[in-house]
Structure 1
Amino acid sequence: MRDDRFRPFETLLDETAALTILRDAVAGADDGEIFLERRRSEVLVLDDGRIRTASYDASEGFGLRAVRGEVAGYAHSTEISEASLRRAAETARLAVGAGGGVLAPPPAGTNRRLYSDADPLADAAFAARIDLLREIDAFARALDPRVVQVTASLSATHQEIEILRPEGIRLADVRPMARLNVAVIVERAGRRETGSAGGGGRYGLAGLMDRGHWEGVVREALRIAAVNLDAVAAPAGVLDVALGPGWPGILLHEAVGHGLEGDFNRKKTSAFAGLMGQRVAAPGVTVLDDGTIPDRRGSISIDDEGTPSARNVLIEDGILVGYMQDRQNARLMGVAPTGNGRRESHAHIPMPRMTNTYMLAGKDDPAGIVAGMRDGIWAVGFGGGQVDITNGKFVFSCTEAYRVRNGRVEEPLKGATLIGDGATALRHIRAIGTDMALDPGMGNCGKAGQWVPVGVGQPTLLIGGLTVGGSAA
């Protein structure tokens, strides 16, 4: 059921009055819009047999932006009224001044729908969700007596946005999101290790709550934890590294993806600035950012400026061919917007952001890639990581990794970190598997204090000569 507090926007603002205020705010500017948002979200967390978190959040508000050149004036409010809109317009005008710009053409329209507009919060009663989390806890403990703690979470969000452009165009999108995650801690002989699994996408809770799905999530979390019980300290040194398919694409996202966002390249603070048309990766490497994949966590029918999302090729057969752009950076760089203008909420200004970023499959047999390694590491799971956009240097921690000797996968490793820089890693790719996969839907991306949901993916890859941090070999 719709929450009574979430009224249709047309009952909150008179469109004619709002359009007049917006046009006054962007007079002489290059661009601008009113971004309206309402959002409801619920998170349930069961930890060690008890409900630790049961939160519900409801919010609505608007942001008004006026853009001229490299300057943007932005004001936002949780009060959607003509009076607050006028105050926001006055604030935004201060940044752009008298102006003298010509209003940029509006985004192209689209009728494409990449996901349902159904409300995930309406899929199951509160009590049913609590019962599910308790059932997951009991199932995990029954699977293995070594399980000493279980944490299970279920979350759902329903976001509605509407964009009013100064030309009088109205654009709207309804974005569902649901996610299930399970983490377990196992203990043997006083040693404890953790494993986690889960994910979701732009759909309802029903599929995630299906027993056939959540049992698989629990088993995967337990498998990873059990593997880590036998892990030994990782070696340190320069080694060949094979990356598994799917979620290990987070390394590609961080080490390469951020460096291909338009604002960093316009300001020449990216390691890839000025390299358009040049070889930046090994032959066969093709990297895309694609917001058009149905139901994926990072997909958006339109971005937060109203531009339809797109399948954007960034690197093609090793050659840099494109950047991800919002409207402002695209205009300043003399190119077309790519549908990557994203913001965390109405309280945030849009900027170039990734959606689903992944590498296309190659021609190499995945099993043969690992079997061909003389001495190296096979990394199939990753945790946190950091990257310096200016030089592409990254550090990533592995949550599941194995030592490979003479083509044999041997002992699991604990404490392995991968250290390098994105540009060098791309050029040192020696093999690309046929098994491209997307992650299960668990990515969040941070930039300039804003967080948005994203997707990643890749096939099995062999990268030569990465620095591995661990204990002494």
Structure 2
Amino acid sequence: MELFPRLSEALDSLIEGDVYHGDLFVQSAVSHSLQFDDGALEEISSSAAEGLSFRLLQGENSLFAHFSGNDEATAFSAMGAVAERAERAFPARSLSREAILPPLPPITPPNADFLRQMDGLARRESPLVRQVSLRLSLSRKKILVFGPSGALSEDERSYGNFTVHVIVEKEGSLQTGHEVQAAQTEPDAFLRELRPEEVLLSALRRALLMLEASACPAGTMPVVLSGQAGGTMIHEACGHGLEADIIQKDFSVYRNSLGEIVASPLVTLVDDPTLVGHYGSYGYDDEGFRTERTTLIEGGVLKGFLTDIQTSRRGGLPRTGNGRRQSYRSLPQPRMSNTFILPGRDDPATLIDSVKKGLLVVKMGGGEVDPTTGNFVFQVTEGYLIEKGNVSKPVRGALLTGNGPEALRDIRAVGSDLHFEPGFCGKGGQSVPVTDGQPSLLIGGLVVGGSDT
């Protein structure tokens, strides 16, 4: 009997009674990264890793074991360990060391000279530069997921990420600029498409701009979120609350709102891992389910949640293909992929024209959200006052304070533009690549906390 059928047969033998699902997750991965700080190449790292995990779902319990290595003997060791916990018979077998996944070829290291060139460029552009931090990360991984009844899915994901931090100083004031270019694409393709000067100069421009910015006035005012703000607020203040495990733990403000109006009728929010080349994309999720676009909010009405196998079964919800895990060492959870508000019909410029006094947010920083109430606080890393329909001076120290559902319901206009920002999302000790996106949005009123407060 060939290897794959042997694995499937062994898996199926354990699914009976109160055990309703099992899967074998196999992963092979390679990566290469460069870290450049303060004029010196601080780190060159190359790695290769392979491993697998086996899981049985028994009632409300996840029985799980993971091992490094990806051969038949290792797979049966994982199955045996979990079978024992499930009190299932799992006879000893004569096993081979045949690899389930062949090793991936190593990533060809790029020439690190361009990082030194970027550091020099920043310092030539401005004598105010005090620190430049550059990181290039390239990775590739291949995944197999064996499911019940011979189900088998295969997915290969490659990522490139170039991140820049610049710190500038003037008269004792320190400001930071951050920019990133990232995509899901082959390492060689990412390096061909990389625009390091553009990324660096964007980060430097933002840092220098904040040195000259005025203190942000405080108060409740209209806020225009530029498409370039990247959907951070939507991801944090809304997206996590629509993950089904958060809903089922009663930790979400949206827990009893399915079918109800939760946003402006102008708002349609989707999660779509099928988008080509986006950081949060994948063909199959980490439970082996084929991906599709999921509509979460349509015309302001809450239509659905993001699910994995367990939350789908527990809540009688459609399975959406959002079971994701950081690696073979991790259990899957419902997670966002590429989450964004669909563009509307308004010219983005008209959103600003309509505001007498308010705030234009071009870039968002970090923040905090209470998912049970929807209350949030977010930093603004690039913002401008709007006065009489015109963008005026840049401001710094701005904080946006509000409530997720209230802010969504108070969206007055949705631009025809659409921008995406790549990043990483942390949850339950796991980090996965995601993309957040939005068009320009006009929110009728948010509490803006500024340096004047």
- Alignment TM-score, normalising by the size of structure 2: 0.90
Letter in 1 for 2:63: G
- Mapped contact 1:120–1:178 kept (Cα < 8 A): no
The SS at the match of 2:121 is: helix
Amino acid at match of 2:26: L
- 1:263 is the counterpart of 2:245: yes
**Aligned residue for 1:154?**
136
Kept after mapping to 2: 8 A contact 1:25/1:90: no
Does residue 62 of structure 2 align to residue 72 of structure 1? yes
The answer as to whether partners of 1:150 and 1:185 remain within 8 angstroms in 2 is yes
Match of 2:42 in 1: 52
Following TM superposition, by how much is the alpha carbon of 1:377 offset from its aligned partner in structure 2, in angstroms? 1.2
Structure-1 residue corresponding to 2:440: 460
1:327 to 285, 309, 314: 309
Contact 2:213 2:395 in 1 (8 A): yes
User: Aligned partners of 1:268, 1:143: CA distance in 2, in Å?
Assistant: 52
1:68 offset after TM fit, Å?
Answer: 2.8
- 2-side partners of 1:296 and 1:339: how far apart? 16
Q: Note the C-alpha offset of 1:355.
A: 0.3
Q: Displacement, 1:61?
A: 0.9
8 Å CA contact 1:400–1:413 kept in 2: the answer is yes
Matched, 1:446 2:426: yes
Asked whether 1:288 is paired with 2:270, we answer: yes
The answer to whether the Cα contact below 8 Å between 1:146 and 1:188 also exists between their aligned partners in 2 is: yes
- Gaps of at least 5 residues in structure 2 are 90-103
Distance (Å, rounded) in 1 between the aligned partners of 2:285 and 2:204: 37
* Residues 388, 93 of structure 1: alpha-carbon distance in 2 compared, 3 angstrom cutoff: farther
1:89 has 2:79 as partner:
yes
* Alpha-carbon contact 1:120-1:158 (below 8 Å) kept: no
The amino acid across from 1:18 in the alignment is: L
- The alpha-carbon distance between structure 1 residues 121 and 214, as it changes in their structure 2 partners (threshold 3 A), is farther
8 Å contact 1:121–1:156 — kept in the other structure?
no
CA contact (8 A) 2:308 2:321 kept: yes
| 2:417 alignment partner, one of 413, 419, 435 | 435
Q: Which residue number corresponds to residue 195 of structure 2?
A: 213
Aligned length: 438
Aligned to 2:4: 15
Paired letter, 1:25? L
Deviations 1:204-263 (A, max 9, x none): 344554587222112211211121111222223322211110443011011100111112
Offset, 1:363: 1.8
Cα distance between partner residues in 2 of 1:303 and 1:456:
18
Secondary structure of residue in 1 paired with 2:13: helix
Match of 1:250 in 2: 232
Name 1:106's counterpart in structure 2.
none
Question: Please, which of 7, 10, 25 is the counterpart of residue 14 of structure 2?
Answer: 25
Q: How big is each residue's C-alpha offset from its partner over 1:109-159, in whole Å with a ceiling of 9 and x where there is no partner?
A: xxxxxxxxxx8963x544x1x111112112222233333322111100111
Contact 2:139 2:187 in 1 (8 A): no
- 292-301 or 258-267, which moves further after superposition? 258-267
- Structure 1 pair 77–220 and aligned structure 2 pair: CA distance change class (3 A): same
Give, as a single letter, the amino acid of the residue that structure 2 aligns with 1:467: V
One-letter amino acid matched to 2:51: G
Secondary structure in 1 matching 2:124: helix
Work out which of the residue numbers 35, 40, 65 in structure 1 matches 2:30.
Answer: 40
Kindly indicate whether the alpha-carbon contact (under 8 Å) linking 2:410 and 2:443 is maintained by their aligned counterparts in 1: yes
Per the TM alignment, residue 292 of structure 1 is displaced from its structure 2 partner at its CA by 0.6
The match for 1:175 is: 157
Over 3 Å counting, the alpha-carbon distance change for 1:75 and 1:229 in structure 2 is same
Offset at residue 384 of structure 1 (A):
1.3
- Cα distance, 1:471 vs structure 2: 2.7
Counterpart code for 2:11: L
> Which residue in 2 is equivalent to 1:379?
361
**Preserved contact between residue 27 and residue 70 of structure 2 (Cα < 8 Å):** no
Match of 2:95 in 1: none
| Cα deviation, residue 22, structure 1 | 2.1
Contact 2:367 2:377 in 1 (8 A): yes
Which stretch has the larger CA shift, 408-417 or 42-51?
408-417
Are the counterparts in 1 of residues 270 and 341 from structure 2 also a CA contact under 8 Å? yes
For 2:194 and 2:61, locate their aligned partners in 1 and report how far apart those are by CA, in whole Å: 52
Secondary structure of the equivalent of 1:277? coil
Per the TM alignment, residue 279 of structure 1 is displaced from its structure 2 partner at its CA by 0.6
Equivalence map 1:326-345=2 (5 Å) = 326-345=308-327
Supply the distance in 1 between the matched residues of 2:193 and 2:237 (Cα, whole angstroms): 37
After superposition, the Cα gap between the structure-2 partners of 1:223 and 1:211, relative to the gap in structure 1 and judged at 3 Å, is farther
Q: Which amino acid aligns with 2:322?
A: N
SS of residue paired to 1:310? coil
SS at match of 1:196: strand
SS in 1 for 2:289: coil
The alignment partner of 1:369 has SS state of: helix
SS at match of 1:167: helix
Aligned CA RMSD, in angstroms, stands at 2.3
| TM-score, structure 1 normalization | 0.87
Whole-angstrom distance in 1 between the partners of 2:73 and 2:191: 44
Conservation of the 8 A alpha-carbon contact between 2:365 and 2:379? yes
Contact 2:285 2:322 in 1 (8 A): yes
Quick check: 2:48–2:106 contact (8 Å CA) kept in 1?
no
> Equivalent residue for 1:112?
none
Further displaced range: 34-43 or 162-171: 162-171
Partner of 1:136: 118
What percentage of residue pairs aligned between the two structures are identical? 39
> Matched residues in 1 for 2:193 and 2:146: separation?
43
Q: CA deviation at 1:96?
A: 5.0
Tell me the CA shift for residue 423 of structure 1.
0.9
